[in-house]
């Protein structure tokens, strides 16, 4: 899948079968979360979202929160990523009751989103990119929506089913 270069700084979104770019970012508690270290234990569902405290982002993450058992049943770790600061993400997680890590791709601004081809230079935010990553570090499934378009929860269900195959 590609995003036009007018909207994203990196035009190619990693496709299923490709190696997921590794990274380390701080979560809302200031703890460093390394993709490689998490993958040593579980597959990962990486969810990029534009900004905390915004309508669609809040709705999407609340739906993930309310269905966290689906991810746990699949043995996967859910990680949210935005360009917000860790303090903003902490307040957001506290207000909404998120029990999964929200990672701050704050500085260098949007660097990890760029690695995944989902950063929008024109708006300074990530698009709604989701990546299911197997323990071997390869992308099992990916889907990307523009900032104003919510993702379908059915896409997550279908992607998680691929982890078992």
Question: What distances in angstroms separate CA 138 from CA 15, 16, 40, 47, one per listed residue?
Answer: 9, 7, 13, 16
Q: Which two tokens stand for residue 30?
A: 């200031």
d(CA 130, CA 142) in angstroms, rounded, equals: 5
| DSSP type of residue 103 | E
Q: Is there a contact between 6 and 66 (Cβ–Cβ < 8 Å)? A: no
* Catalytically annotated residues: 57
Short-list 130, 25, 2, 22, CA closest to 85: 25
Residue 57: CA count within 13 A, CB half-sphere: 24
């Amino acid at each position: 899948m590609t995003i036009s270069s007018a909207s994203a700084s990196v035009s190619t979104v990693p496709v299923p079968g490709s190696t997921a770019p590794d990274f380390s970012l701080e979560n809302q508690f200031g703890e460093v979360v390394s993709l490689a270290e998490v993958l040593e234990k579980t597959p990962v569902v990486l969810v990029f979202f534009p900004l905390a405290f915004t309508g669609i982002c809040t709705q999407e993450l609340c739906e993930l929160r309310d269905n966290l058992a689906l991810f746990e049943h699949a043995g996967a770790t859910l990680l949210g990523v935005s360009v917000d600061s860790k303090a903003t993400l902490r307040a957001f997680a506290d207000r909404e009751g998120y029990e999964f890590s929200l990672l701050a791709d704050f500085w260098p601004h949007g660097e990890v989103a760029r690695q995944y081809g989902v950063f929008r230079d024109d708006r300074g935010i990530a698009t709604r990119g989701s990546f299911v990553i197997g323990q071997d570090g390869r992308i099992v499934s990916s889907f990307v929506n523009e900032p104003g378009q919510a993702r379908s929860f059915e896409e997550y269900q279908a992607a998680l089913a691929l982890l078992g195959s």
